[in-house]
Amino acid sequence: MRSTRSRRRVSVQAAAVLLPVASSLLVWGPPAQAADRVPLAGARPDWATARADRGGIPAQTTVSSRVYLAGRDPQGLARYAQAVSDPKSPLYQKYLSPQQVRERFGTSSGQRAAVTSWLTSSGLRITAATPRYVAFQGSATATDRAFGTRLHGYATSGSTYFAPSSIPSVPAALKDAVLGVAGLDDAPRQAGRAEALPGPGSAFVDAGPFSTYYGSTVDKKLPKAFGIQPPAPVRGYTGKQLRAVYGGTASGLTGKGVKVAVLDAYASPTLASDAATYAARNGDQPYRPHQLTQSLPKSYNDIKACDASGWYGEESMDVEAVHAVAPDADIVYVGAASCNDDDLVDATARIVDHHLADIVSNSWGDAESDAPDGGPKVYDRLFMEGAVEGIGFYFSSGDDGDQLASSGTKQIDYPSDSPWVTTVGGTSLAVGKNDQYLFETGWGTAEARLSADGKQWKHLPGTFTGGSGGGTSRFYAQPSYQRGIVPDALARAHGGTRHRTVPDIAAVADPATGFLVGQTQRWSDGSVRYGESRAGGTSLAAPVIAAVQAMAQQARGGVPIGFANPSIYARYGSSAYHDVTDHPLGADKTLAVARVDYANNENARRGTTTSLEILGKDSSLSATRGYDDVTGVGSPGADYLKSFLPGQRG
């Protein structure tokens, strides 16, 4: 696994839905163009433009899609989710069981019957009917008839895909039954035939020298930078070090009695054995029988398009980080059938419908601009149901800063933009000789390469290579828990009203100050064996925070924290957090480490490259005093876990 790019991208657009993001409640958007039809705003992808239109597609083209069901009393669901998460509400922690959620807010047989009747009367064949959606297949002609549109071909990304030529709609009689539709275009995202998982990916090994703690090793042959001799990076922080700096060691908390779910796509065939080997090699507590379990789909698809083996390192890092920081927490790995939204939705629903865990770590997402109608509200409904059950969802904020360079637009990710999840940003962490906390900067890396003669760093102050995602949503209004805390300069970044800003909280992410991860890999000599390397990204920060929250839940006597943001923001400005800034040692102090990499990623046969990794340089984002769009309210401090003990707030 390449340590600088551990976060995986969802390759598809989410289901279009009828939920307006401004309030997170189910009310209708644009008025229907015809009295007997209601438009599905956002069900038409952005790339389906007039300029790209190549005309109608053959009438018998096969279309496969899903209609997601709205369920009962969606406004009531949102109100209950807010109340049960608010420490000031009389309903605080009055969680419902999955069965109670289904009975009170789930879909009715009448909704499923009405949607099924409409689809079949249009000439479409039902391929699956679940409590959450009705799937169908049929010709383009029948699909046009059902959704009041015409499917055309559109040229995009060097290929031609079909999509609606106008905003699809549904009969007005179904307005309370239909949440949204997914799959009215055939861009590479449709679930394909079942496929076998591949073997592990190519090996990656960090080259030395290494520090055992921040600054312990310095290569004095290298030129100075910013007036100092840059130290070598750590080989990878261990659970012992992370437990110490984020409060686990001092508190004695271990996550006992709490279950954490790790949700990713696919499933590494060696996940359990790698986790056990890693724990034994790095001083972590051995796994108890059945402490690590897996919940997997019956089959997998889109193996090549999603780079299935590329997810294996992600899965190992997530599981190993949770166990290292919260060694007594139970862990359930939940695998999705692919990286496509429909499959990730199904995996998320599996957690909610069976309450597989109280805390869910997610290290995946895509740009907000790729989310129809401002965000996949199918996810929002799942997150709200989770909140009602006492389940909290934690999402990494992304590894590409403001995303301007990669997408042409400053933006954040989805589903981490949802006001119903806790979005985790990243830091660069310095741990001292005796595992003491030294400092953190916001994670943002600018890189400068060593000159051929080894006498200077070229192109200082460096080129941005990665950093914590953050910024302001274009679609979600500011949630109540951020009022008075997020500066207006951020909340009003798009003008007008205040909007949701991310992240909410942060932890170590910088690959140069990252976590040591172990996994089975494929080596250049043809062998397949276990190896270890340093890894990072906000994909590390999310499971670390999930583990911290497991310890916090233990401190509460095992009472679920549920949706954590009201609790997280209630502690803002206290000793519960490290207030992370980009210049923790002073405005005139620029921090950096000197990193050496193998040119072939595995050994020194093709030589090495040396680079200066400059800390606290996150694209246009900045970690400043108070709330900021790199680290949110900050990282967990010495008193964070203490604040959850009986008699304390939260």
As given in the structure block, the two tokens for residue 599 are 């040119």
Tell me what pLDDT residue 34 has. Answer: 59
Domain assignment present for 29: no
Residue 193 banded pLDDT, cuts 50, 70, 90:
low
Q: Are 27 and 20 in contact (CB under 8 A)?
A: yes
User: Same structural domain for residues 464 and 577?
Assistant: yes
371 and 243 within one domain: yes
pLDDT tens digit sequence for 498-531: 999 999 999 999 999 999 999 999 999 999 999 9
User: 156 falls in which pLDDT band (50, 70, 90)?
Assistant: confident
Please check whether residues 141 and 275 belong to one and the same domain: no
Could you tell me which residue, 22 or 334, shows the higher pLDDT?
334
Q: Does residue 611 belong to any structural domain of this protein?
A: yes
In-domain check, residue 54: yes
Same domain, 503 and 637: yes
Q: Is the per-residue pLDDT at 191 higher than 70?
A: no
Q: Which residue has the higher pLDDT, 29 or 101?
A: 101
pLDDT-derived band at 374 (thresholds 50, 70, 90) equals: very low
Q: For residue 5, is it within any domain?
A: no
Do 335 and 408 share a structural domain? yes
Q: What pLDDT score does 30 carry?
A: 35
For position 14, what pLDDT does the model report? 30
Q: What CATH number is given to the structural domain containing 265?
A: 3.40.50.200
CB 10 within 8 A of CB 364: yes
The first and second tokens of residue 621, run together, are 């984002």
Would you say 546 and 322 are in contact if contact means Cβ atoms under 8 Å apart? yes
Place 17 in a pLDDT band, splitting at 50, 70 and 90.
very low
What is the predicted pLDDT for the residue at 369? 82
**Final residue belonging to a domain, choices 153, 182, 211:** 182
Is the per-residue pLDDT at 58 higher than 70? yes
pLDDT for 387-437, tens place per residue? 999 999 999 999 999 999 888 899 999 999 999 999 999 999 999 999 999
Q: How far apart (Å, rounded) are the C-alpha atoms in residues 184 and 164? A: 7
Q: What integer is the mean pLDDT of 200-214? A: 93
Query: Are residue 496 and residue 408 in the same domain, yes or no?
Result: yes
In a domain, 598, yes or no: yes
One domain for residues 129 and 51: yes
Q: What is the mean pLDDT of residues 343-364?
A: 97
Q: What is the pLDDT of residue 639?
A: 95
What would the pLDDT profile of 430-480 be if each residue is shown by its tens digit?
999 999 999 999 999 999 999 999 999 998 999 999 999 999 999 899 999
- Alpha carbons 367 and 469: distance in angstroms, whole number: 10
| Residues near 489 by beta carbon (within 8 Å), at least 6 away in sequence | none
Q: Is 484 within a domain?
A: yes
The whole-angstrom separation of Cα 155 and Cα 379 is: 29
Q: Are residues 403 and 481 in the same domain?
A: yes
Q: Which of 157, 182, 207 is the last residue of a domain?
A: 182
Domain boundary among 149, 182, 215: 182
Average pLDDT, integer, range 583-608: 94
Average pLDDT, whole number, for the chain?
A: 91
491 and 602 together in one domain: yes
- Is residue 452 in a domain? yes
Domain span at 437: 239-529+537-619+630-644
Q: Is residue 87 part of a domain?
A: no
Question: In which band, very low, low, confident or very high, does the pLDDT at 372 lie, cut at 50, 70 and 90?
Answer: low
**Domains contained in the chain, number:** 2
351 plus 490 within the same structural domain: yes
Do 338 and 486 share a domain, yes or no? yes
pLDDT band at 26 (very low <50, low <70, confident <90, very high): very low
The residues near 168 (Cβ < 8 Å, ≥ 6 apart) are 16, 39, 40, 43, 44, 147, 148, 149, 181, 184
User: Within this chain, do residues 251 and 171 fall inside the same structural domain, yes or no?
Assistant: no
Q: What is the pLDDT of residues 235-273, one digit of tens each?
A: 999 999 999 999 999 999 999 999 999 999 999 999 999
Beta bridge partners of 423: 395
